[in-house]
């Protein structure tokens, strides 16, 4: 396995909420097994069949981790083939171990409880030295009726007893007392899928996604959010994809995952209906290539520009994470003397923005990066001025001192 390091500097990327308060220096993070230095994992849930052709396509769209549900519960030949194919295509694998310990699924539901952890530990011992192993995915959306926080911690401890240096992760939905599960593992992967059947730009669920991911971030634990890339029933458009990706980036995350590649690329998702009859979600087999991939590659290019940041700071009060009345979310990064900003509208209405903006520069020109539209936006007299800010619009800038 490659050398692992503690929590990356990326985790402390600046999270700012407006209006800004006084800035405090962040304290060093507690050491935990982490993602490899200099990486920002982009995970495709349910990445499809482990063929060289498919995995090469997944890689070309911007993903660098693949996943298959309950992978390690398959026979050894299939597991090895999956890992070997990923390695050939220079991909890592988020190793799904959940089938051994989740009583909702086989083989765990067919095993005595006392045998589940030993089966899990045996699988860790078997696969931990394969070079394609990225990290362990140990559980999917726990609920108190099935899995308690103490039981999840027991699963985590069993994995770490066999392999202390590779992190564990689990998916966490917005459920009752979700925060009680968060300290149980190394990385929490919050999921929230905001694009339903509402017409754009209507979409207050986009703001709810940001609120949930922000609440997870304020726990202080390391996070890697899971973002929607399928029709539920509607497919997210480009503006919504940019919002979901870059608003997640403002949370000080360590990577990003996407649910689910299979339903965004190959098969329509069955959306449960109120009458018990499912309806098929929207499917366009060119969607991942034409809509999603360009935004994902833009995100990765920006991450490469700002990571690792040379400063880490947060705004006093940010731990009490609330959307302010100006409905703007933004983050700042500094690297090698250059300041970068992501500024996002968090509402469905167009407006002119003129707000205090403490970025360390009283005035600055704003150089648009990626697909950010050119505008007359600027920092003047310590204020951020954006004429005609569109609903859910994302601005990604490099700040140039002066005007």
pLDDT digits (tens, 9 = 90+) for 270-308: 999 888 889 999 999 999 999 999 999 999 999 999 887
Which runs of E-coded beta strand occur in 80-221?
92-96, 133-140, 168-172, 187-190
Residue 37 pLDDT: 65
Last residue of a domain, one of 306, 332, 347: 306
Residue 23: pLDDT over 60:
no
Span of 17-31, 87-101, 179-193 with lowest mean pLDDT: 17-31
Domain membership of residue 250 as a residue range: 30-306
Residue 35 resides in a domain = yes
pLDDT tens profile 334-354: 888 899 999 999 999 999 999
- Higher-confidence residue: 378 or 318? 378
Residue 293 resides in a domain = yes
Residue 22 resides in a domain = no
Q: For residue 343, how far is the Cα from the chain centroid? A: 18
Percent of the chain with pLDDT over 90: 72
Q: For residue 236, how far is the Cα from the chain centroid? A: 16
Last residue of a domain, one of 273, 306, 339: 306
Q: Are both 365 and 239 inside the same structural domain?
A: no
- Residue 13: which pLDDT band, with cuts at 50, 70 and 90? very low
The pTM of this model reads 0.90
What's the CATH code of the domain at 378? Answer: 2.60.40
Q: Are both 374 and 268 inside the same structural domain?
A: no
* Cα–Cα distance, 215 to 178 (Å, whole number): 10
Residue 381 resides in a domain = yes
Q: Are both 69 and 48 inside the same structural domain?
A: yes
Q: Are both 295 and 319 inside the same structural domain?
A: no
- Residue 28: which pLDDT band, with cuts at 50, 70 and 90? very low
Q: Are both 101 and 141 inside the same structural domain?
A: yes
DSSP state of 164: T
Residue 2 resides in a domain = no
Residue 277 burial (CB count, 10 A):
8
Q: Are both 293 and 367 inside the same structural domain?
A: no
Q: Are both 150 and 212 inside the same structural domain?
A: yes
* Cα–Cα distance, 157 to 161 (Å, whole number): 6
Q: Are both 38 and 107 inside the same structural domain?
A: yes
Residues sharing a CB contact under 8 Å with residue 32, sequence separation 6 or more, in sequence order: 6, 7, 167, 186, 222
Q: Are both 223 and 167 inside the same structural domain?
A: yes
Last residue of a domain, one of 306, 334, 351: 306
What's the CATH code of the domain at 290? Answer: 3.20.20.80
Q: Are both 198 and 324 inside the same structural domain?
A: no
Q: Are both 273 and 386 inside the same structural domain?
A: no
Residue 184 resides in a domain = yes
Residue 313: pLDDT over 60:
no
Residue 177 resides in a domain = yes
Residue 4 resides in a domain = no
How many domains is the chain partitioned into structurally? 2
pLDDT tens profile 127-153: 999 999 999 999 999 989 999 999 999
Q: Are both 287 and 141 inside the same structural domain?
A: yes
Phi (first) and psi of residue 308, to 5 degrees: -80, 145
Mean pLDDT for all residues in the chain: 87
């Amino acid at each position: 396995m490659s050398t692992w390091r503690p929590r990356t500097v990326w985790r402390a990327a600046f999270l700012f909420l407006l209006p800004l308060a006084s800035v405090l220096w962040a304290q060093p993070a507690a050491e935990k097994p982490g993602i490899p230095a200099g990486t920002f994992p982009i995970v495709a849930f349910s990445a499809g069949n482990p063929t060289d052709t498919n995995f090469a396509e997944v890689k070309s769209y911007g993903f660098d981790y693949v996943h298959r549900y309950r992978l390690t519960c398959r026979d050894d030949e299939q597991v090895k083939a999956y890992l070997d194919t990923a390695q050939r295509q220079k991909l890592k694998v988020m190793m799904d171990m959940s089938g051994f310990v989740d009583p909702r699924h086989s083989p765990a539901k067919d095993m005595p409880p006392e045998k589940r952890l030993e089966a899990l530990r045996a699988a860790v011992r078997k696969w931990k030295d394969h070079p394609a192993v990225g990290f362990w995915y140990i559980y999917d959306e726990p609920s108190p009726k099935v899995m308690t926080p103490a039981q999840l911690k027991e699963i985590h401890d069993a994995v770490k007893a066999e392999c202390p240096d590779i992190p564990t992760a689990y998916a966490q939905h917005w459920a009752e007392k979700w925060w009680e599960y968060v300290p149980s593992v190394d990385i929490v992967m919050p999921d929230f899928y905001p694009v339903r059947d509402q017409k754009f730009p209507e979409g207050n669920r986009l703001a709810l996604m940001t609120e949930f991911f922000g609440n997870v971030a304020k726990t202080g634990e390391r996070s890697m959010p899971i973002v929607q890339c399928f029709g539920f029933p509607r497919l997210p458009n480009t503006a919504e994809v940019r919002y979901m990706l870059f608003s997640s980036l403002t949370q000080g995350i360590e990577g990003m995952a996407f649910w689910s590649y299979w339903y965004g690329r190959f098969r329509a998702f069955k959306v449960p209906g109120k009458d018990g009859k499912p309806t098929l979600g929207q499917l366009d087999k060119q969607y991942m290539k034409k809509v999603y991939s360009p935004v994902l590659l833009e995100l990765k290019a920006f991450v490469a520009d700002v990571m690792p940041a040379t400063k880490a700071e947060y705004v006093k009060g940010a731990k009490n994470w609330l959307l302010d009345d100006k409905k703007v979310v933004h983050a700042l990064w500094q690297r090698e003397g250059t300041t970068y900003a992501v500024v996002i509208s968090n509402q469905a209405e167009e407006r002119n923005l003129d707000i205090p903006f403490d970025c360390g520069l009283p005035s600055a020109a704003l150089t648009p990066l990626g697909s950010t539209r050119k505008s007359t936006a600027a920092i003047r007299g310590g204020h951020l001025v954006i004429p005609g800010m569109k609903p859910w619009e994302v601005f990604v800038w490099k700040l140039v001192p002066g005007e």
